[in-house]
Amino acid sequence: MDKKANIWQLLFFVAIPLVPLLVFWIIPLFVSVWLSFTNWDYISPDYEYVGLSNYLNMLADEAFLQALGNTLLFAVGTVIPTIILGFIFAVMLSRLRRNVTFLQGLMFAPWITPMIGMSIVWSWMFDPRVGPVNQMLGFFGLPEPHWLTDSNFAIWAVIIVTVWKNTGWAMLFFSDALTKIPQSLFEVADIEGAGRWAKIRHILIPLVSPTTLFLFIILTLDALQAFDQINVLTQGGPSGSTRTLLYLYYELAFEQFNMGAATAVAVLILVISAILSFISMKISKKYVYY
Amino acid sequence: MFVLGIIELKNVSKSFDNKTNVIDDLNLTIESGEFVVLLGPSGSGKSTILRMIAGLEPITKGDLFIKGKRQNDVPAKDRDIAMVFQNYALYPHMTVFDNIAFGLKVRKVNKGKIEEKVEKVAEMLGLTSYLKRKPKDLSGGQQQRVALGRAIVRDTDIFLMDEPLSNLDAKLRTTMREELVQLHRELSATTIFVTHDQTEAMTMADKIVVINEGKVQQIGTPAEIYNYPANLFVAGFIGSPAMNLLPLQENRSGFAFAGQMIQTPGFTTQPDGLILGIRPEDCKISGKGYPVKITFIEDLGADQYIHGISGGRKVVIRESPDKRFRIGQHTFFTMNPEKISWFDKKTGKRLEPADEPFTGDELRVYHG
């Protein structure tokens, strides 16, 4: 008997994972692109083709430009601190001898907690009068902002929650990367006369760079898709100051029932994600050591 | 004036668990320009000694002096020592150039100077055409050279080497051995070389320090250590095949082996049981002497090693390759009486004949 699978058997095995991918991913992707050229209202059966006008309107819309700015601020404001803090905590933990697993678990806990529940707790933490955040700021005589209702602070509140949630997760990846660096590399550095900063700069940072790149891409995509915390904490407000592109999409699609404009935003999010991933892969050729 | 060695360990002990000493009360003086080999089986503590000198392991007790200054509390980076590791410890993300230049860079040497020095060292080691490559694109021998280059480029006068040749294949190891000795002559830096390979020790060292279980067993030139092993451990560890160590029976009239009386000299101390040590090359198969039954023949081309049983003991005899023996043959062997080493059975220590007192200085061989 022939031990090799024939072509139909092979296709069958490939089809099983391909079906959900097609149904939930590839087909909706093309449908979205198609919808972005229409003015469908999400409910009625008829629609008209409007060409590029959804895109043109979008680029002229101030709400969109504000959302784009918010998204950039939110992405930069969460990704960079998450990576830096995750790295610092991992390095600190790697110097401990005892309780490492316990502390790692403690720091990792926010990541396995559902964002919705956590956001509700944080909305109480940020309460301007009785919330612990302002109590603490007040104790040190610092200004006590109205975190969630002041348009200058709301985005920072959301950023703080997101960084807090993701740091433990990033730390875990860095911890693993650090354990893979042979001890002798640091011993050589000692003998060669490298101080603490030189060791971090010339050995630690370059040798964890594949992890940094991975976290950068995943966290950036995660930032572009942030929704739960914004929905619970601020609903995009006050005055659109926490409305990111994805939240704008949600509002356009499910509050204003303007599916054409919404899918145009969605397509743009996809394009931005693709461009960012592409750029980071390009940059990585130079700075990431494998 | 009292001349100090460049490196001095005084009553140094090391313990990892505060209970047992891995290194126990070690005293060692290394003179400037010497090629010293720390030789011992794995787990003997030789690498720990090296790491204490480098500053990678704290010293539990005792003092370490380098160039007359106490170094116990000086961090590794301020000791100005170069070290080569067994696994080379090259930085995988840096080019060969950057690996060699690393020490100079972190010490803020100016760029032109770094380039000049690295190029000089690369030329010396035959690495010039590899400077832009990453370590993973190099062979084991080339990686080894890069590790050496990183040590040499610093212009320090103390080199520590922790089994640097053990990851190389046998042929490359022989050539690197030669090159290292050559390099040591050129640089005239003090080198401390750790190995468990006695061939490396014998061929490279000015001075061998034999270490076992954290204690110095013997310090001497290769010839001293080979010809006058200080105790049973050294006798059994040095030489391949090892020295024959034959316990003697004591009876009323003296000592005997395999039923034959053995002429023993008078000793400076009264022995408590005797062990006779004789190297395979100082034994000969003969028509008379001690009876031996041949059990195994190792033919190495240039020599043959005859393994046999004599007086219930295994013995190894080196013979010239042209003679014919067969397994199972009963014959006799003789020993060159001048080459016999005597050991106290109880203490394991070498016994010196009383009539011709041995002094280390007579036998000292000066190298290079």
Instruction: With beta carbons under 8 A apart, name residues in chain A contacting B71.
Output: none
> Residue A16: what residue type?
I
Cβ–Cβ below 8 Å for A190 and B76: yes
Q: How many Å apart are CA A261 and CA A58, to the nearest integer?
A: 7
Q: Of A187, A202, A206, which is closest to B89 when you measure between CB atoms?
A: A187
Of B283, B252, B272, B259, nearest to B342 (Cα)? B272
Q: Of B80, B81, B87, which is closest to A184 when you measure between CB atoms?
A: B87
Radius of gyration of chain B (CA): 24
DSSP A112: H
Q: Are the CB atoms for B153 and B104 separated by under 8 Å?
A: yes
Cβ–Cβ below 8 Å for B77 and A202: no
- The complex's ipTM? 0.77
Instruction: With beta carbons under 8 A apart, name residues in chain A contacting B79.
Output: 191
Cβ–Cβ below 8 Å for B56 and A190: yes
Cβ–Cβ below 8 Å for A190 and B55: yes
Distance in Å from the first CA to the final CA of chain B: 26
Q: Are the CB atoms for A210 and A177 separated by under 8 Å?
A: yes
pLDDT tens, per residue, chain A with 290 residues: 566 778 888 888 888 989 999 999 899 999 989 888 888 888 888 888 888 888 888 888 888 899 999 999 999 999 999 999 999 999 999 888 888 888 888 888 888 888 888 888 998 888 888 888 888 888 888 888 888 888 888 899 899 999 999 999 999 999 999 999 998 999 999 998 888 888 999 999 999 998 999 999 899 999 998 888 888 888 887 888 889 889 999 988 888 888 888 899 999 999 999 998 888 888 888 777 76
Interface of B with A (CB under 8 A): 54-56, 75-83, 85, 87, 89, 91-94, 102-103, 105-107, 150, 154
Non-local CB neighbours of B89 within 8 Å, separated by 6+ positions: A182, A184, A185, A187, A188, B147
- Give Cα A42 distance to the centre of its chain: 28
Q: Are the CB atoms for A167 and B52 separated by under 8 Å?
A: no
Strand order in the sheet with B313-319: B283-286, B330-335, B290-299, B304-310, B313-319
Non-local CB neighbours of B31 within 8 Å, separated by 6+ positions: B5, B6, B190
Instruction: Using the structure block, give the residue that is written with the tokens 């409007």.
Output: A50
Q: How many CB atoms lie within 10 A of CB A140?
A: 6
Q: Are the CB atoms for A85 and A167 separated by under 8 Å?
A: yes
B207-212 and B61-66 beta bridge pairing: unpaired
Token duo for residue B40: 């011992």
Cβ–Cβ below 8 Å for A189 and B102: yes
Predicted confidence at residue A45, as pLDDT, reads 83
Predicted confidence at residue A71, as pLDDT, reads 92
Q: Write down the domain spans for chain B.
A: 7-227, 246-256+272-352
Q: How close is the nearest chain B Cα to the Cα of A201, in Å?
A: 11
Q: Of B56, B87, B102, which is closest to A192 when you measure between CB atoms?
A: B102
Cβ–Cβ below 8 Å for B91 and A184: no
Q: How many Å apart are CA A235 and CA B69, to the nearest integer?
A: 69
- Give Cα B359 distance to the centre of its chain: 22
| Closest chain A residue to B84, measured at CA | A188
Q: How many CB atoms lie within 10 A of CB A155?
A: 20
Cβ–Cβ below 8 Å for A194 and B77: yes
Q: Of B80, B81, B91, which is closest to A203 when you measure between CB atoms?
A: B91
| Residue A84, burial from CB neighbour count under 10 angstroms (0-12, 13-18, 19+) | middle
Cβ–Cβ below 8 Å for A189 and B82: no
pLDDT digits (tens, 9 = 90+) for B222-276: 999 999 999 999 999 998 889 999 998 887 777 888 878 888 887 777 777 889 9
Q: How many Å apart are CA B48 and CA B224, to the nearest integer?
A: 25
Token duo for residue B354: 């009383």
Predicted confidence at residue B212, as pLDDT, reads 92
Predicted confidence at residue B279, as pLDDT, reads 94
- Give Cα B109 distance to the centre of its chain: 36
pLDDT digits (tens, 9 = 90+) for B44-63: 889 999 999 999 999 999 99
* DSSP-H helix ranges across chain B: 46-54, 96-106, 111-124, 140-152, 170-187, 198-204, 222-227, 232-237, 360-363
B190-195 and B158-162 beta bridge pairing: parallel
Dihedral sign from CA coordinates of B248, B250, B255, B261: negative
Mean pLDDT, each 10-residue run in order, chain B (368 residues): 73 88 89 92 90 91 90 88 90 92 90 92 89 90 90 89 88 88 88 92 93 91 93 91 89 80 78 88 89 92 92 92 90 90 90 65 45
| Closest chain A residue to B155, measured at CA | A192
Instruction: With beta carbons under 8 A apart, name residues in chain A contacting B83.
Output: 187-188, 191
Q: How many Å apart are CA A154 and CA B135, to the nearest integer?
A: 50
Cβ–Cβ below 8 Å for B89 and A182: yes
Of A234, A81, A68, nearest to A146 (Cα)? A234
Token duo for residue A171: 């730390």
Of B245, B254, B240, B262, nearest to B313 (Cα)? B245
Q: Are the CB atoms for A86 and A170 separated by under 8 Å?
A: yes
Of B202, B196, B162, nearest to B181 (Cα)? B202
Q: How close is the nearest chain B Cα to the Cα of A65, in Å?
A: 41
Non-local CB neighbours of A233 within 8 Å, separated by 6+ positions: A119, A122, A123, A126, A148, A154, A157, A158, A161, A242
Q: Which CATH architecture has domain B246-256+272-352?
A: Beta Barrel (2.40)
Of B281, B287, B297, B278, nearest to B332 (Cα)? B287
> Residue B342: what residue type?
W
Predicted confidence at residue B208, as pLDDT, reads 94
Predicted confidence at residue B362, as pLDDT, reads 46
Cβ–Cβ below 8 Å for A187 and B82: no
Best interface-test mutation with A: which of B78, B91, B161 has the largest number of A CBs within 10 A?
B91
| Closest chain B residue to A197, measured at CA | B106
DSSP B353: B
- B7-227 domain in CATH 3.40.50.300? yes
Partners of B353 in beta bridges: B267
Predicted confidence at residue B4, as pLDDT, reads 63
Instruction: Using the structure block, give the residue that is written with the tokens 């053990």.
Output: B166
Cβ–Cβ below 8 Å for B89 and A289: no
Count chain A–chain B contacts defined by CB atoms under 8 A: 66
Residues 164-223 of A with CB under 8 A from B: 182, 184-185, 187-195, 198, 202-203, 206-207, 209
Q: Of B81, B87, B93, which is closest to A191 when you measure between CB atoms?
A: B81
Which phi and psi angles does B14 have, rounded to 5°?
A: -135, 130
Instruction: With beta carbons under 8 A apart, name residues in chain A contacting B105.
Output: 202
Best interface-test mutation with B: which of A186, A188, A197, A205 has the largest number of B CBs within 10 A?
A188
Instruction: With beta carbons under 8 A apart, name residues in chain A contacting B85.
Output: 184, 187-188
Cα distances (Å, whole numbers) of residue A258 to A37, A42, A249, B310: 12, 7, 9, 103
CB burial readout B81-95, b (16+ within 10 A) else e: bbbbbbebbbbebbb
| Closest chain A residue to B105, measured at CA | A194
Q: How many Å apart are CA A149 and CA A162, to the nearest integer?
A: 18
Predicted confidence at residue B356, as pLDDT, reads 58
Cβ–Cβ below 8 Å for B89 and A207: no
DSSP string, A123-189: HHHT-TTT-HHHHHHHHTT-----TTT-TTTHHHHHHHHHHHHHHHHHHHHHHHHHHTS-HHHHHHH
Instruction: With beta carbons under 8 A apart, name residues in chain B contacting A192.
Output: 77, 102-103, 106-107, 150, 154
Cβ–Cβ below 8 Å for B106 and A289: no
Q: Of B77, B81, B89, which is closest to A184 when you measure between CB atoms?
A: B89
Of B96, B30, B93, B15, nearest to B61 (Cα)? B15
* DSSP-H helix ranges across chain A: 7-21, 27-35, 53-60, 62-95, 100-112, 115-125, 132-139, 154-179, 183-192, 196-199, 205-207, 209-224, 228-233, 245-254, 259-287
Q: How close is the nearest chain A Cα to the Cα of B80, in Å?
A: 7
Residues 260-289 of A with CB under 8 A from B: 289
Partners of B292 in beta bridges: B331
* Residue ranges of domains in chain A, CATH in brackets: 61-287 (1.10.3720.10)
Cβ–Cβ below 8 Å for B56 and A187: yes
Q: How many Å apart are CA A253 and CA A241, to the nearest integer?
A: 19
Q: How close is the nearest chain B Cα to the Cα of A241, in Å?
A: 43
DSSP string, B204-229: H-SEEEEEETTEEEEEE-HHHHHHS-
Q: How many Å apart are CA A290 and CA B194, to the nearest integer?
A: 32
